[in-house]
Amino acid sequence: MSSEHSKRLAALRAQFQAHGLNGYIIPRSDEYLGEYVPACAERLAWVSGFTGSAGFAIALAERASIFSDGRYTLQLEQQTDATLWERHHIIEDKPEDWLRDTAPGRKIGFDPWTISADVLARFTGVDMVPVAPNLIDAIWADRPAPPLDPALPYPETHSGEPAAAKRRRLGAALAKDGQDAAILSDGASLAWLFNIRGTDLEFCPFALGYALLRQDGSAMLFMAPEKINEALRAHLGDEVRITGHEALPGAIAALTGQTVRYDPATMPVWFKTALEQAGAVIANGADPVALPRACKNTTEQNGARTAHLRDGVAMVEFLAWAAEAMPQGGETEISAAEHLLACRARQDLFRGESFPAISGAGENGAIIHYRVTPESNRPILPNEVYLIDSGGQYLDGTTDITRTLWTGPGPAPAQIKEHVTRVLAGTIALARAIFPEGVAGAHLDVLARQELWRAGLDYDHGTGHGVGAYLSVHEGPVGISRAARPVPLAEGMILSDEPGYYLPGAYGIRMENLLLVKQAAYAGAKKPFLRFETLTLVPFDRALIDPTLLPGTSLDWLNSYHARLRTALSPQLSDKARLWLLDATAPIL
């Protein structure tokens, strides 16, 4: 594909030069700035070949650079042509710094729909010029059509609260803050606020669009008319006016003199410009839906538990199969991922994967966000490390689980067991945390890393991310990492717990459970404390655990967790999987 990508980069250069520009930026994001994008918005992949979920590229007439984070360092090397693209770690070498140093004072084009105001503000020392429509769209001859499947009502039996009540609750919060309205562009926010779901994205049940929420709870929903049917209109009611995207500029122009909440970190800069031109008063603030959405109500919490129970059944059926099949050889990364998907597909309320399964054997497991393709697919060999990171979308919840396996039949080397056990110790340490209200994810990140640090080891990704309720598997505003925004953890939030260790060219290790934040009954506490409930119900591979490296309290936790799995899962398993589980969860003494 190098010659094809060379032609595409040349065509882009011809485009921006025809517009009198010296360069053009290509974010991974689409017009909604989401992590996952429909096929029609995969502009970065089309022009460069890089398919990771986090990336940013800059094309100049004489040079081009592409940036991503530590999850995709190896993938960048594999998927992009070094003669076309310079590769950079986006944290260590920021795009705005590279551009300012490389092309000071020059005219650089950007699509105002695919970049946020905060990101745009970082590009100083150059002349940033908005250009619409997107220049890549003009040269992408076989660009896929946008998704137009109908948006679907999401029943209160799963949401736990009527959409009208949500709108009025959030509208009252806007009024309290002195704001007349708020603009929404996040697909997860629309899905949660209006109790709708859709199929616009492959792994997130979103119906993409925009919304304008007012103080009184009324709203305008801007969505392609093909996605609206009578059932949805009846579901939304008279307080929601539904119209196409073409009405958006007029609706913004009508906000003259009104105070409008706008999130400069997560929304296209187009809205900021349009509000300024309309004479509206811009109130910069976080998406008002994000925090309420993250704090799951009782119905959503119970849905997460039942979804994880079924997901645990699917995973144990898969692990029992893997324990028999992998020592014999003959399986591949793709065949294993397909078998796991089939196990999930047999579960009630399953609607699809929550992200593309990361099925990595041996050295491929060291690629943090590896995605197997027919070209990269390799056999899963006996006596090696196999990493499987996957998840399911169920009508009542979203799951995300990673396990690292030893394929056998021989014993695992001592070094691998040490590395795995240190990672597992971090998973357990975070799961056992008890902490006061007000603590944010950045404060807890060290718990997951401390046993790795004792051995001079670390990993180049965050420890945890928020997870939605039949929504995105990566949900803000909370996270557990050194770089996480200081958003305090709160009751009802669901986060991942996934430390890891990666030895390039050899193997990757990650241990991931999902955790629910709950109140902690802490005797003698002078203020409220919180703790975690582990939602994931899947055993860890005992063949990779060195119990001498686990603190006694961690070993007790592990044995108790495995006992809980036997009780919860055994009644729903096949006979073969039940017998395997009894052995896999036997106490470690």
Convert the pLDDT of each residue in 305-342 to its tens digit.
999 999 999 999 999 999 999 999 999 999 999 999 99
Beta strand 281-284 pairing with 350-353: unpaired
Kindly report the backbone phi and psi dihedral angles of residue 146, in degrees, each rounded to the nearest multiple of 5, phi listed first: -65, 150
Burial 508-547 (b: 16+ CB within 10 A, else e): bbbbbbbbbbeebeeeeeeeeebbbebbbbbbbbbbbbbe
- Report CA 126 to chain centroid distance, whole Å: 32
Domains 152-286 and 295-584 agree in fold? no
Kindly report the number of other CB atoms within 10 A of residue 77's CB atom.
11
Closest CA to 554 of 406, 398, 428, 384: 428
pLDDT attached to residue 320 = 98
Contacts of 88 (CB under 8 A, 6+ apart): 65, 66, 67, 95, 98
| SS3 label, residue 193 | helix
Whether the Cβ atoms of residue 273 and residue 248 lie closer than 8 Å to each other: no
Tokens of 535: 């939602």
d(CA 327, CA 381): 7
Per-residue confidence (pLDDT) for residue 484, from 0 to 100: 78
Hey, where are the domains in the chain?
A: 2-130, 152-286, 295-584
The tokens of 449 are what? 């890393």
Write out the two tokens for 189.
């926010």
The whole-number pLDDT of residue 53 equals 86
User: Helix, strand, or coil here: 480?
Assistant: strand
| Residues 6+ away with beta carbon under 8 Å from 545 | 417, 420, 421, 424, 558, 588
Domain 295-584: which CATH number of 3.90.230.10, 3.30.750.24, 3.20.20.70, 3.40.50.300: 3.90.230.10
Residue with tokens 């998973």: 427
Ramachandran angles phi, psi of 452, nearest 5°: -70, -45
Q: CA–CA distance from 349 to each of 5, 155, 313 (Å)?
A: 41, 13, 13
CATH topology of domain 152-286: Creatine Amidinohydrolase; Chain A, domain 1 (3.40.350)
- C-beta separation of 185 from 32 below 8 A: yes
The H-or-E segment that residue 241 falls in is strand 240-243
Among candidates 22, 21, 98, 16, which has minimal Cα distance to 60?
A: 22
The predicted pLDDT at position 306 comes to: 98
Dihedral sign for Cα atoms in the order 129, 130, 133, 137: positive
Amino acid, single-letter form, for residue 154: Y
Q: Give the whole-angstrom CA distance, residue 340 versus residue 521.
A: 38
Residues facing residue 534 across a β-bridge: 515
Q: How distant is the alpha carbon of residue 163 from its chain centre?
A: 24
Residue-level pLDDT at 354 = 98
What does DSSP say about strands 240-243 and 219-222: parallel, antiparallel, or unpaired? parallel
Kindly report, residue by residue over 552-584, the tens digit of the pLDDT: 899 999 999 999 999 999 999 999 999 999 999
Contact criterion met (CB below 8 Å) for 499 and 426: yes
Task: Return the SS3 of 164.
Answer: helix
Instruction: State which CATH number among 3.30.9.10, 3.40.47.10, 3.40.50.11540, 3.40.350.10 fits the domain covering 2-130.
Output: 3.40.350.10
H/E run at residue 352 = strand 350-353
* CB half-sphere exposure, 303, CA atoms < 13 A: 26
Q: What are phi and psi of 88, to 5 degrees?
A: -140, 150
Helix, strand and coil content of the chain, in percent to the nearest 5, comes to 40, 20, 40
Quick one: which of 265, 286, 288, 284 has its CA closest to 219? Answer: 288
Cβ atoms of 459 and 501 within 8 Å: the answer is yes
Strands 434-436 and 529-534, how do they pair?
Answer: antiparallel
> In 178-259, where does DSSP find H-type helix?
187-194, 230-236, 248-253
Give, for all 589 residues of the chain, the pLDDT tens digit: 478 999 999 999 999 999 999 999 999 999 999 989 999 999 999 999 999 888 999 999 999 999 998 888 888 998 999 999 999 998 889 999 999 999 999 999 999 999 999 999 999 999 999 999 999 999 999 999 999 999 999 999 999 999 999 999 999 999 999 999 999 999 999 999 999 999 999 999 999 999 999 999 999 999 999 999 999 999 999 999 999 999 999 999 999 999 999 999 999 999 999 999 999 999 999 999 999 999 999 999 999 999 999 999 999 999 999 999 999 999 999 999 999 999 999 999 999 999 999 999 999 999 998 989 999 999 999 999 999 999 999 999 999 999 999 999 999 999 999 999 999 999 999 999 999 999 999 999 999 999 999 999 999 999 999 999 999 999 999 999 998 789 999 999 999 999 999 999 999 999 999 999 999 987 788 899 999 999 999 999 999 999 999 988 999 999 999 999 999 999 999 999 999 999 999 999 8
Rounded distance between C-alpha atoms, residue 553 and residue 339, angstroms: 35
The residues, ordered by sequence, that sit 6+ positions from 370 with a Cβ below 8 Å of its Cβ are 75, 358, 359, 360, 364, 376, 508
